[in-house]
Structure 1
Amino acid sequence: MGRARAAACAALVAGALAGCVAIPTGGPVTAGGDGEVREQDGVVVLAQGPQSDADPTGIVEGFLFAADTEVTGEFDVTRQFLAAGERTEWDPGAETIVVSATKVEQTGEAQVTVSLSVTAKVDRDGRYLEAPAEAVETLRYELVQDARGDWRISHAPDVVVVNSRRFLQQFRATSLYFLTPDSQMLVPEVRWFRNRNVPTAAVRALLAGPSPWLQDAVTTALPPGTELKPEAVSFERGGVAEMTLEPALAVQDADRGLLLAQLDASLRPLGVTTLNVRAGAGGALLKGAPDTLSVPDPGDLEILVGGQTWELVDGVPGAVEGVRTVDGAQPGSPARSADGRVRVALADPTTLVAVPSGDAEQRTLLTGSALAAPSVDRYGWVWTARASAPGRLDAVRLEGTAVEVTADWLTGRWVRAVRVSRDGTRAAIVSSGPDGVTLDVAGVVRDEGGVPLTIGPGVRAGAPLTPTASVVWVDDVTLGVLSGGDAGPTPYLVPVSGSSTPLPAVADAIELAVERGTRTLYVVTAAGDLLRYEGGTWVAVPGVTGVLEVTGAAFPG
């Protein structure tokens, strides 16, 4: 076994199994080894420390492998590859780079360069950003020889490199729950934490508050400056979690129902069944049940057929009572509020109208070239955008009030699609600009009456994709988009914080609609067909496809 391979040798613990494994375990290694042993499912991989005769490449290769297979979060074995002074300076918590392939090569007498095929990055606070397609990054490691002549790393970048598959074994996606400004709903933000005392990591992050892109759109019942003392959540068998929050007086004066609702929603998916929160050391438990905060049932799917609004009730199509036909050259892109009081559509690509219903006649709400499909938020505002007015979105109400909603990052960009989340705090925006077509999610900043004022900083989602002009919220933390491809438009599930997942392509798909979850996901084709995602494939909706020519479909939102 060569010196470089010896540095990456690992004990594979699964019964009596043992052997050596080179990095990466998935993808080619073009330097530092001449073979590869693949892990078996369920095998625990334990890295060894540096070998005395390892050359610079072998030391860096062993360092990367030790960090990649870390399970405790202490990185004790990994630090053995570092020179004495660097062992305390290296900060493995600063950033995690998720990779699909790694190339290690010596580029100087005491320098090793590592080339990475990057799929994502996770920062110190657990924020996950998916990388663009074919993203690459280079890391450089400097080495020295110690008094015994053994090579050690004198400078290592403050990152941990993790194989894509192993990342999912070591990290856990965790939703932190904040509040809408009116305290009526919970708003999740997903972070990724190492699989060790995740409840403690979640509470600490919850106390620190939402990310910058979301902070102006939500609020929290946890008082400013609240700390976890002692700095850990006690988690016992049976799902009992206990914590103490300081300062006691501020915690006691907080809205207990809302505070407990945030903690309960954030910790219950982690296995917490009983939550005991004390205000101050030795203080009394916060009594009271968490407030119940939820999004109302959105109702049935509605489709537009020749300008007439139909609904699918238990899969059976029928005209919506009291709603009349949209008058226009090309009616499509319907949208409505959850209570059905606000119904809009595009009469043609340049005209947004209120759908005639009851005693109300059809009214034009907005005109402009290439209008984006409308989205209705829970405050009754109708969102769209005009190609003739780049750099902004338009929000209007049925009575005619209109506001322009801007964001610095939208300057010079044309908004092609917009969809506001069910809680009204976030907007998913497809826009095009000098860097191409992107999908971003941003916080919606409103006044006390719910009037949208501005859009906060955008966070990129689905970076490897080229989205088209259709986006929906599949659930509170996942988007559905169409992306171009060789097989035709491909629907993707795109987490706001996570990796995108393709669904089967649909040759002429033009629009998505969803209630909640993939079981309620639909696609409309250019031919007017309506398909539902079922059993891992797209199936025609009985009584619609081949009978009705659908020009648009939507659930509330």
Structure 2
Amino acid sequence: MRAALGATAVLVVAACSAIPTQGAVQKGDARVSEGDPVVVVAEGPAPDADPVSIVEGFLLAGSAGLSGDFVDFVAAREFLTPDARSSWDPLGSVVVASATQVQRTSDTQVTVEVQVAGKVDADGRYTEASADGRESVTFDMVQDSRQQWRIGGTPKGLILSRGAFTSRFRAAQLYFLSPDSQVLVPETRWYPSRNLPTSVVKGLLSGPSPWLRDAVRTAVPGGVQLKPEAVTVDADGVAEVDLDPARTVQTADRGLLLAQLQQSLQLPQVRSVVVRAGATGVPLDGATSLPTPAVGDPVMIQGDALVSLVNGALQPVAGVGSLAGLDARSPARSADGSVQVLLSGTDRLMLAPTATAPGRVLISGAGLAAPSVDRRGWVWTATGGSVLAVTPAGTQVTLTAPWLAGRSVKALAVARDGTRVAVVSDGADGLAIDVAGVVRDASGAPQQLSTPVRAGASVADAHQVVWADPVTLGVLGGTGGPSTLRLVPVGGQSEPLPDVADAASIASGVGERSMLVATHAGELLRYDGRTWVPVQGATGVHDPAYPG
């Protein structure tokens, strides 16, 4: 691909005072923020440029439109005809490209062949593409009255290289509420780095995505808007959010509304948040403090015992009896330890035995998936294409999930907030990693799974899934071959972790440094951010699991 026309990269360096060279060292109160990025300044089309050069210049100018102090596509529109300028929606969609090739395919058409990594829609939702994802984008070319080539027909949106996308866009979490208003639930969106706080607030006011909508609630009243339509952030990092209509805002659950806004605006450039009902209103205060779902110590099976890794050492789990004769595997427990379950073989889900009582079977079925326990005490598993949930008392439900028809569930994991479940399944179209909202009745009993969002489309094999953090999955693959480990964001690009040749199972608390791998040889490894290192003294173990 030839170099695009008429663009130069300018490194913008913030002005700063001279560095002192003498005197005592002074303690400062500096706030660390994101550095100023490289700004690409694009010019319009060069005289007599050929169609390929026009398209190349347009692509580069589109990328440059996101790099200045403001989102500005004036230069990019110069490559378009007047009609195309008025119809082009640059942020209507973004194609994230691993590679592109531009070629003239007819006298009046230029085609861009794109190796697609992912796509972002107008609302900031990122969808990863499959490993072989490709797309052809055709530009219709016309000559104006001066015989200069311009683009007369262009698809909406932008095509950005992965590098340009990474530098121009940022992932942000929009926080909604669990149905009982006890937990904040994140949803990842991708917005231009410029004016990020404004995009975040507008996204939050618009509500959750369809797949999550019936599993959460929001304290934002209907019809509330950002007025003026921008969040201002001053030099001290104070973000000011003015919401209208003032009367509607004043009648909202103020504490929960502020909790959602403050958590969603946890951004590098924001230190504190001021929210007003109306531009002249008094700042609202009294945000509700909502705890993060607890994550305790991991458990695993060693011999005939259920043990826990506490401060780097293994110790028996209190209250759990011997597992002898159970063919015990895949333990799971609630955060408070009141619910302890495991699989007995591959076809029985049971409560763990105690010192005084044997284990009790909760569900029997062929090829049960490793269980997961939600924060309400429901135990989840699957058999075939059915997802099941059961209480320790034995009340069982089969969740409605039409999208699993004709598929076989290989693994599942409920998020610790209890509103989302990750499901790995096989079907005629191959492997799928889906994340669905959990729809519950008034008592909190799970009833159905929403139509899901696809994650990890580039992942070819998976047989175990865990929540690595509130918005990222950890996935173990390698059925019939070398094991593979990946981090799979729910709304982002999957990334490989260093492989462990004989990995048998994985576990994760919050963050990749909490991740554990058990090998087929019974060794336990932990991730230190770069590689996997042995956990001293942890031998002869299998199936580690954090609460949840």
Q: Please say whether Structure 1 and Structure 2 have the same fold, judged by a TM-score greater than 0.5.
A: yes
Q: Which residue of 2 aligns with 1:326?
A: 323
**Which structure 1 segments of 5+ residues have no match?**
17-40
Question: What secondary structure, in the 3-state scheme, does the structure 2 residue paired with 1:11 have?
Answer: strand
Match of 1:496 among 480, 490, 493: 490
Q: Which residue of 2 aligns with 1:145?
A: 143
Give, as a single letter, the amino acid of the residue that structure 1 aligns with 2:545: A
Q: What is the Cα deviation at residue 357 of structure 1?
A: 1.9
Q: Is 1:286 the equivalent of 2:281? A: no
Q: Which residue of 1 aligns with 2:57?
A: 62
Distance 1:15 1:304 in 2: 56
Structure 1, 171-180 or 228-237: larger mean CA deviation:
228-237
Q: Which residue of 1 aligns with 2:206?
A: 208
The CA deviation string for residues 50-101 of structure 1, in whole angstroms up to 9 with x for no partner, is 1111111111111112112322422111000001121111111110000011
Count of paired positions:
523
Q: Is 1:170 the equivalent of 2:168? A: yes
Kept after mapping to 2: 8 A contact 1:198/1:270: no
Q: Is 1:129 the equivalent of 2:127? A: yes
Q: What is the Cα deviation at residue 524 of structure 1?
A: 1.4
Matches within 5 A, 1:482-521: 482-484=476-478, 488-521=482-515
Distance 1:42 1:200 in 2: 19
Kept after mapping to 2: 8 A contact 1:306/1:551: no
Match of 1:551 among 538, 542, 548: 542
Kept after mapping to 1: 8 A contact 2:92/2:122: yes
Match of 2:437 among 443, 450, 454: 443
Give, as a single letter, the amino acid of the residue that structure 2 aligns with 1:437: L
Question: What secondary structure, in the 3-state scheme, does the structure 1 residue paired with 2:462 have?
Answer: strand
Match of 1:161 among 159, 162, 186: 159
Distance 1:325 1:437 in 2: 37
Q: Which residue of 2 aligns with 1:370?
A: 367
Cα distance, 1:117–1:7 mapped onto 2, change above 3 Å: closer
Cα distance, 1:133–1:313 mapped onto 2, change above 3 Å: same
Give, as a single letter, the amino acid of the residue that structure 2 aligns with 1:465: V
Cα distance, 1:348–1:487 mapped onto 2, change above 3 Å: closer
Q: Which residue of 2 aligns with 1:38?
A: none
The CA deviation string for residues 328-352 of structure 1, in whole angstroms up to 9 with x for no partner, is 4521000000111100001101111
Q: Is 1:403 the equivalent of 2:397? A: yes
Structure 1, 501-510 or 357-366: larger mean CA deviation:
357-366
Kept after mapping to 2: 8 A contact 1:487/1:507: no
The CA deviation string for residues 451-501 of structure 1, in whole angstroms up to 9 with x for no partner, is 001000111111110242211111111110013399821211111111111
Q: What is the Cα deviation at residue 47 of structure 1?
A: 2.1
Q: Normalization by structure 1: what TM-score?
A: 0.91
Cα distance, 1:446–1:229 mapped onto 2, change above 3 Å: same
Distance 2:489 2:469 in 1: 9
Give, as a single letter, the amino acid of the residue that structure 1 aligns with 2:43: Q
Give, as a single letter, the amino acid of the residue that structure 2 aligns with 1:264: Q
Question: What secondary structure, in the 3-state scheme, does the structure 2 residue paired with 1:134 have?
Answer: coil
Q: Which residue of 2 aligns with 1:32?
A: none
Q: Which residue of 2 aligns with 1:30?
A: none
Kept after mapping to 2: 8 A contact 1:406/1:454: yes
**Which structure 2 segments of 5+ residues have no match?**
14-35
Give, as a single letter, the amino acid of the residue that structure 2 aligns with 1:294: P
Structure 1, 264-273 or 446-455: larger mean CA deviation:
264-273
Distance 2:364 2:165 in 1: 48
Q: What is the Cα deviation at residue 381 of structure 1?
A: 0.5
Give, as a single letter, the amino acid of the residue that structure 2 aligns with 1:56: P
Q: Which residue of 2 aligns with 1:355?
A: 352
Q: Which residue of 1 aligns with 2:388?
A: 394
Q: Which residue of 2 aligns with 1:88?
A: 86
Kept after mapping to 2: 8 A contact 1:512/1:522: yes
Distance 2:366 2:481 in 1: 30
Kept after mapping to 2: 8 A contact 1:7/1:54: no
The CA deviation string for residues 401-426 of structure 1, in whole angstroms up to 9 with x for no partner, is 00001212111111111100010000
Cα distance, 1:488–1:199 mapped onto 2, change above 3 Å: same
Distance 1:225 1:359 in 2: 58
Distance 2:80 2:2 in 1: 18
Give, as a single letter, the amino acid of the residue that structure 2 aligns with 1:186: L
Question: What secondary structure, in the 3-state scheme, does the structure 2 residue paired with 1:140 have?
Answer: strand
Match of 1:340 among 337, 341, 350: 337
Give, as a single letter, the amino acid of the residue that structure 1 aligns with 2:402: D
Q: Percent identity?
A: 51
Give, as a single letter, the amino acid of the residue that structure 1 aligns with 2:530: G
Q: Which residue of 2 aligns with 1:303?
A: 300
Kept after mapping to 2: 8 A contact 1:396/1:402: yes
Q: What is the Cα deviation at residue 282 of structure 1?
A: 2.3
Q: Is 1:381 the equivalent of 2:378? A: yes
Distance 1:66 1:393 in 2: 49
Distance 1:437 1:187 in 2: 27
The CA deviation string for residues 219-255 of structure 1, in whole angstroms up to 9 with x for no partner, is 0111111111111112111011112211222211111
Cα distance, 1:535–1:232 mapped onto 2, change above 3 Å: closer
Structure 1, 84-93 or 377-386: larger mean CA deviation:
84-93
Q: What is the Cα deviation at residue 395 of structure 1?
A: 0.4
Kept after mapping to 2: 8 A contact 1:328/1:348: no
Kept after mapping to 2: 8 A contact 1:239/1:271: yes
Aligned-residue Cα RMSD (Å) equals: 1.9
Q: Which residue of 2 aligns with 1:53?
A: 48
Q: What is the Cα deviation at residue 535 of structure 1?
A: 4.7
Question: What secondary structure, in the 3-state scheme, does the structure 2 residue paired with 1:214 have?
Answer: helix
Q: What is the Cα deviation at residue 273 of structure 1?
A: 2.4
Structure 1, 163-172 or 466-475: larger mean CA deviation:
466-475
Q: Which residue of 2 aligns with 1:199?
A: 197
Distance 2:178 2:134 in 1: 38
Kept after mapping to 2: 8 A contact 1:304/1:332: yes
Q: What is the Cα deviation at residue 503 of structure 1?
A: 1.0
Q: Which residue of 1 aligns with 2:312?
A: 315
Cα distance, 1:487–1:385 mapped onto 2, change above 3 Å: closer
Question: What secondary structure, in the 3-state scheme, does the structure 1 residue paired with 2:255 have?
Answer: helix
Kept after mapping to 2: 8 A contact 1:331/1:551: no
Distance 1:280 1:171 in 2: 30
Give, as a single letter, the amino acid of the residue that structure 2 aligns with 1:324: G
Question: What secondary structure, in the 3-state scheme, does the structure 1 residue paired with 2:211 have?
Answer: coil
Q: Which residue of 2 aligns with 1:31?
A: none
Q: What is the Cα deviation at residue 393 of structure 1?
A: 0.1
Give, as a single letter, the amino acid of the residue that structure 2 aligns with 1:377: D
Distance 2:470 2:4 in 1: 45
Q: What is the Cα deviation at residue 526 of structure 1?
A: 2.0
Q: What is the Cα deviation at residue 364 of structure 1?
A: 0.6
Cα distance, 1:538–1:144 mapped onto 2, change above 3 Å: same
Give, as a single letter, the amino acid of the residue that structure 2 aligns with 1:241: A
Distance 1:43 1:216 in 2: 41
Kept after mapping to 2: 8 A contact 1:430/1:467: no
Distance 1:51 1:486 in 2: 56
Distance 1:386 1:6 in 2: 55
Q: What is the Cα deviation at residue 510 of structure 1?
A: 2.1
Question: What secondary structure, in the 3-state scheme, does the structure 2 residue paired with 1:54 have?
Answer: coil
Cα distance, 1:324–1:358 mapped onto 2, change above 3 Å: closer
